[in-house]
Chains A and B, each alone.
Chain A
Amino acid sequence: MPDLTQYMDLIKMIYRGIGVFYVLYLLGYSTFLFLSVVVGSSELYHRRRQERLKNDLTQDYFIPISIIVPAYNEEVTVEQTVRSLLTLEYPLYEIIVVNDGSKDATAQVVIDAFDLKAIHRPVQRQLKCKPMKSIYQSNAHKVPITLVNKQNGGKADSLNMGINASRYPYFICMDADSVLQYDSLSLIVRPVLEDERVVAVGGAIRPANGVHLEQGRVVQYHMPKKPLVGMQVLEYDRSFLASRILFDKFNGNIIISGAFGLFRKDMVIAAGGYDASTMGEDMELAVKLHVFCRTNLIPYSIRYAPDAVCWSQAPESLKDLKNQRRRWHIGLMQCMAKHNAIFANPRYGLVSFISYFYFLLYELFSPAIECFGILTVLMAWALQLLNVPFMILFFLIYGAFGMILTLTAFFARTQTLNQRLTPMDVARAVLLCLFEVVALRFAIAFVRAKALFTYWKKKPQSWGRIERKKMDVK
C-alpha cells in the first residue's frame, strides 16, 4: 500500500477543485431547472388566460400542410394513426404515409383500410433518398391520402421522401404510433401567422398511456397505472415541456421532436433536409436550420407550441425505454459533434452560449460527469475526506428540490390544460416523482453513460423500436 500522507495536500487541493466544479455544475443545473419550471408554468398560465379572453385566431385562415407519417413495421398502429389524422379540425391538409420497406403488412393495411389505388405519380427529387418502389393514393376521403412504398433507408430517409412527395409549403413530421389532438394543426400553425420569420415549430409530446381519446379529444385522463410510464409522464412535464418553453423565449430551441413538428418546406430543402446518417435526425434538422439561417443571414425563428399536442406511446418496458434513451443519446452525440462549430461561437448568440452549452454539459456529458462524481465520492470516503452528514443532507435537499420542480411542472400542465385529476392521480404523481428522482433518473443516467462510452461500437442506422400497442382511441 503506497503512503498517501505525503500527497495529502495535493489530493485535498484536487478535491477542492473538484468540489468547486460540482458546486458550480449543480448550481447551474438547479438554476436552469428552476427557471424552466417557473417560466414554463407562467407561460402555460398566460396562454390559458389568453384563450379565455379570446386572444386567439379563430377565423377560417389556413396554411396548407402536408402531414408525413414515416412507417416501418407499423401494421398494428398505422391504420389508427391515419384514421385519427382524418378527424383533425383543419381545412386544408394531406396525409402522406411513407412505408420504409417494412417487413410486415404495413403497406397492405393502409391500402385496404383506405381503399388506395396504385398510380404513376412523378415525384420531384429535391432531397436525396432511397428509390421509390410504388405509390398509391385516394381522394375519396376528407383529405387526399398518399402511400409511398420505398426501399428501406431509415426514418430520416423516409422523411426526405415524404418531403419530395408533398404538395404543400409546410409539412409536419410525425410518428406512426402517435395521435394528434383535434386542434393540433390550428395551434401549431399559429406561430407562423404570428411571425413571418418562423421556419419551424415544435409541438408538445405527451405520453398517451392512460389517456382515452375520442375523435382526437381527450375524454378521460389519468396517471398511467404502470409506474415506469407514470414516471415518464412526470419527466416529460419537467424536462421537455418546461425547458422548451424557456428555450423558446430566446429562439434557442435546438430540438423539435420527430413525433410532432411543423417545418417550412423550402427552408428545409435549402438546408439539405434530414440527415440519414444520424440517429437523432429530428434534433439534427433543428440545429441545421439554426446554422443555415445564421450562416446565410436569414432572419428566422424556431418556435415551440406547448398547446399543440401529439399523444405518443411511451415505452412500457425497461428494455424499450433503455433502447429509446440510448438512441436519443447517440443522436444527441452525433448532432453535437457534427455541429461543433456552434460551440462558444458568438455568431450563434444565445443558441451557442445557452442552448448548445446546456445540451453539451447537462445532457451529453452529464452521464460521464455523474459517474466521475460517484467515483470521487467513493474515493473521498475511502480517504476519509468526506463530510457524510453534509453529503446526505445535500442529496436530500437536492432530491426534494427535484421532486418539487417535477410536481410544479405537472400541476401547471394539468391545470392549464384543464385535465381533471382524481385524488388517486395526485397521490400517484407524488409517489412516482419520488421514484423518478431516486430510481428512474439513475437508471437513465446509466443507460446514457453506456451509450456515451460504447458509441464507437457503431451499429447500422435503424428505426427505434418499442413494442407497439393499439392506443385507446375512437
Chain B
Amino acid sequence: MFRIELLVYFYIIICISMIFFNVFLILHYRRREQKQETRSRKLLHLVQEQAARMEQTGGTLPEKEWERLAKKLYRAEKLLTFDRTLTDLQQNQPQRAEVYIGGLLPLFRQLCWRYRRKEPIQRAYLAYLMGRYAIVEQEKRGGLLHQFLKELLFSNNLYCRENALRAYYGTKDGKAVLEAIRILDKNQFFHHGKLLTEGLMSFQGDHSQLIEMLWAELDAFRVENQVAILNYIRFRKGGYEARMLALLQDEKKDPELHFAAIRYLGKYPYPPALDTLLRLARDRDEARWNYAAISATSLASYPGEQTVEVLKRALHHRNWYVRYNAAVSLEAMHLSYVDMADILTGEDRYAREMLEYRMEERAQKEREEAVRCQT
C-alpha cells in the first residue's frame, strides 16, 4: 500500500535543502561584497596595467591578452566585477579610462562569442555593458557585436531586446538604430510603444537624421511601432507639421496614426492644419468621438474666434471627454468670464459645469502659484 508519510518525508528533505540553500545565500551575499572588493582590486590592478600599456601603444593590446581576460570573465558575476572596476577607473582616472574603454572592442568580441549560448539573463547583461560603455560604436555594422545584438532583438525575452536596443541608442549611428527597429518590428513579440519612444529619445546621435530615416520607412512598420515613432518625433522636435497634416488627411491611415498626428499638431501649431482640426472637433458622429476629443485638446494652440466658437459647441457634445477637453482648451486660452458668458449662463448644465470647473481650477492654480511665490 502507498505510504503517504514517505512523500511527506521527501517534501521535508527538499524543503530543508531549500532552507540550507537560503541560509547559504544569506551568508554568501554578506560575504560577496567583501569578495567582490578583493576581486575588484585584483582586476583593477590588471586593468590599470593594461590601460597604462594601451596609453603607450596608442590604444591597442595583443589579441592574446584580451582572450585571457575574456576567459576570466566567463561568468556574469565576473562581468559584474569588471563593470565595477571600470566604474572605479572612470571615477579616479577618467583619461586613462577613456583610452582603455576605447580599446575594449576585441575583448567584447571575445565575450560575445563566449556568451552567445548563455541564458538570456546573462546575454542581456552583456548587451547592457555594451551600451553602458558605448562599445558598439567601435565596431562597423555587420560585425560580431552587431550580430550578437541582432540575435537578442529576435529574442522572446523583453530584457534581451531592451538592453540590445539601449546598446544601439547609446551610439551615434542612426542607421544602426533604424536597422534595430526593423528587426524589432519583424519580431512578433510585444514590445511596449512607451519603451520604444523613450528609448529613441535617449539616442546619442543626430535626431534630425534619425527622424528622416524613420519617416522614410514609416509605412513599413507595424502600426503600434509607427505610433511610438510619431510620439518620439512629437516629444523630440517640431518641423514635421506639413507631413503630419498630410498623414492626418490620408483617410487610409490607421486612426491611431491620425491621433498621433493631431497631438503633434497640437504641440506644434501649424496654421494650415486649423481647418482640418476644426472639422474634426465639430464632428458629431458618436463613433468618431476620439477624433473630436483629441482635436479639442490640440485646438488650445490655435486661439481665435473660430476656434473658440467650435470649442464652445464641443462643450455641448454628448461625449464626456469631448466636453472635458474643450473646456480645458478654452481655459488654456485665458478667456474671461464675459467671453464665456453664453455658456456660463446657458441652459446646458453639463457644458456649464465643465467650464465652471476649469475656470475655478485656473483661479485656484493662480492662487497656489501666488502663495508659492510669496513663500
Contacts and interface: CB of A to CB of B under 8 A. Distances in A.
Nearest to B9: A397
A140 B371 contact: yes
Interface string B64-90: 000000000000100010000000000
A139 B372 CA distance: 11
A140 B370 CA distance: 11
Grouping DSSP codes into helix (H, G, I), strand (E, B) and loop, the B interface class, with mixed when no group exceeds half, is helix
A401 interface: yes
B22 A401 contact: no
Contacts of A37: 15, 18
A160 to B, nearest CB: 16
A149 to B, nearest CB: 16
A460 to B, nearest CB: 33
A140 B372 contact: yes
B185 interface: no
A195 B190 contact: yes
B125 A55 contact: yes
Contacts of A415: 22, 25-26, 29
A382 interface: no
Given A38-B18, A53-B76, A401 B162 contact: no
B14 A34 contact: yes
The number of chain A residues touching the other chain, given as a range, is 35 or more
A54 to B, nearest CB: 4
B16 interface: yes
A112 interface: no
Given A30-B8, A394-B5, A50 B192 contact: no
A215 interface: no
A113 interface: no
Query: Which of B11, B29, B128, B364 has the most CB atoms of chain A within a 10 A radius of its CB?
Result: B11
Contacts of A120: 353, 356-357, 360
B163 interface: yes
Nearest to B157: A55
A119 B360 contact: yes
Interface in A377-416: 393-394, 397-398, 400-401, 404-405, 407-408, 411-412, 414-415
B121 interface: yes
Interface stretch (B96-104, B194-202, B335-343): B194-202
Nearest to A193: B192
B8 A53 contact: no
Interface in A48-78: 49-50, 52-57, 59-63
B46 interface: no
Which of B4, B76, B122, B353 has the most chain A CB atoms closer than 10 A to its own CB?
B4
A194 interface: yes
B159 interface: yes
B353 to A, nearest CB: 5
Contacts of B159: 50, 55-56
A412 B22 contact: yes
Interface in B344-363: 350, 353-354, 356-357, 360-361
A124 interface: yes
12 contacts: A26-B4, A50-B159, A54-B128, A120-B353, A137-B364, A139-B361, A192-B192, A193-B158, A194-B190, A401-B8, A405-B15, A421-B26
Which 4 residue pairs of A and B lie closest in terms of their CB atoms, listed nearest first? A411-B22, A55-B159, A53-B125, A404-B15
Given A397-B5, A401-B8, 17 more contacts: A26-B4, A27-B7, A38-B14, A38-B18, A41-B22, A56-B159, A59-B202, A61-B195, A117-B367, A119-B360, A122-B350, A139-B364, A397-B9, A397-B12, A411-B23, A412-B22, A418-B29
